[in-house]
Amino acid sequence: MSREQSNSQWSQRYAASMLGVFAPLATLVEGRGCWVWDADGRRYLDLFSGIAVNALGHAHPAWVEAVANQLATLGHVSNFFASPPQVELAEKLLALANADTHGRVFLSNSGTEAMEAAVKMALRTGRPRLLAAEGSFHGRTLGALALTSKEVYRKPFEPLPGEVEFLPFGNVDALVSAVDAGVGAIVLEVVQGEGGVKPLPPGYLERARELADGVGALLIVDEVQTGIGRTGTWFAHRNPALVQGPVVPDVVTLAKGLGAGFPIGATLALSERAAGLLGAGDHGTTFGGNPPAAAAALATLRIIESEGLIARSAAVMDRLMADVGALDHPLVAGTRGAGSLRAIVLARPVAPRVATAALKAGFIVNAVAPDAIRLAPPLILTPDQAAGFVEALPALFDSATSA
């Protein structure tokens, strides 16, 4: 691992060369498993996995081998040509989604691009009115941004595409009142990630499906953060702890954990109607579905299956959350989430202080809200690693409340 320059030196170079849209906490130079090291040699337990991306942790040997072999065989070819990994990945995703013969896949490079394709599908219905939830986050490109409710993200770039209405989160009555024949799509996250790790209330997604069917609208489910085992099943919309009845969305968007660190996104059109909304020339991507990215995603899916990581990671996080509750610390107001996407809810708005204290102590977590700490560790997190974090929490909480 490189020790040629310090965090401070890299930070100065970063500020002098990069647009100032991010404020990096440190410069990371190496990762192995659930651990990462910065340029000063400090080690951190990664409990955020690059915003729920590194499902297999860092440098998983089978994943590295699959990507390296593909790069040594065939790299970029553009979408003037098909490649076996591209086709195999589409087939695998449709199988995991239990899609029928009408299902089709569009491969892109990120979650926001996956949502851009979904937005185009919605607009091709001829109905520009789209419904989304308050607290939603669907991406930063213009179509995805139009569905993202946070005013500070949206305002500088308005007017945005479509006619988007944001409904009170989880309010079924508001949803019923809003849905009419002018709605092109209802767009939802089963668990809002950036919104604070908030699951939809029981019955909401099922009702959204019924209402969409009643007026011929699309139901688009954003699984960019919640999909690929993150919430305890392959897809959050099929997790019985989150959605009681069977719900088949028209469109599902994926990214983040799909490539386990290699940039890739996917838009799954699961209904016949959705699959027919975009045709030749209606959408495109230069890099989407390139052989190395597709190989990375295929390796990710196979490793998750072969190592039983979905059930194993959910069990580790169930225990971690139970242990957090058992601390009986006055700052802990509760927990929420599912699988390996969880939040520790705080009794005071000191989450940024907790996250800072955690980083100093060697743990990477995320202050997703003033009163909530988000955990989205690699699916390979071990019970001992989880226990070590819980053991450190009281001191982190005390540090945050005494500052």
CA distances from 347 to 228, 235, 332 (A): 31, 31, 6
Q: Would you give the distance in Å from CA 173 to the centre of its chain?
A: 28
Contacts of 290 (CB under 8 A, 6+ apart): 75, 76, 77, 83, 86
d(Cα 245, Cα 229) in Å, to the nearest integer? 19
End-to-end CA distance of the chain: 34
Beta-bridge partners for 185: 130, 218
Q: Is 309:234 a contact under the CB 8 Å cutoff?
A: no
Q: Where are the domain boundaries for CATH 3.40.640.10 in the chain?
A: 64-306
Output the pLDDT for position 1. Answer: 45
The span from the CA of 45 to the CA of 68, in Å, is 26
pLDDT along the chain (403 residues), means of 10: 80 95 94 98 98 98 98 96 98 97 97 98 96 97 96 94 95 98 98 97 97 98 98 98 94 98 98 96 95 98 98 98 97 98 98 98 98 98 98 97 80
Contacts of 189 (CB under 8 A, 6+ apart): 133, 136, 137, 138, 195, 200, 221, 222, 223, 225, 226
299-320 pLDDT per residue, tens: 999 999 999 999 999 999 999 9
Question: Bridge partners of 367?
Answer: 373
Q: What is the pLDDT of residue 341?
A: 98
Under 8 Å between Cβ of 100 and 274: no
Whether the CB-CB separation of 82 and 223 falls below 8 Å is answered with no
Q: Are 361 and 392 in contact (CB under 8 A)?
A: yes
Q: Which residues, 6 or more positions from 110, have their beta carbon under 8 angstroms from its beta carbon? A: 139, 255, 263, 264, 265
- pLDDT tens digits, one per residue of 187-207: 999 999 999 999 999 999 999
Domain with CATH 3.90.1150.10 in the chain: 7-60+308-402
Question: What's the CATH fold of domain 7-60+308-402?
Answer: Aspartate Aminotransferase, domain 1 (3.90.1150)
Looking at CATH, the fold of the domain delimited by 64-306 is given as: Aspartate Aminotransferase; domain 2 (3.40.640)
Amino acid identity, position 376:
A
Q: What was the pLDDT predicted at 3?
A: 62
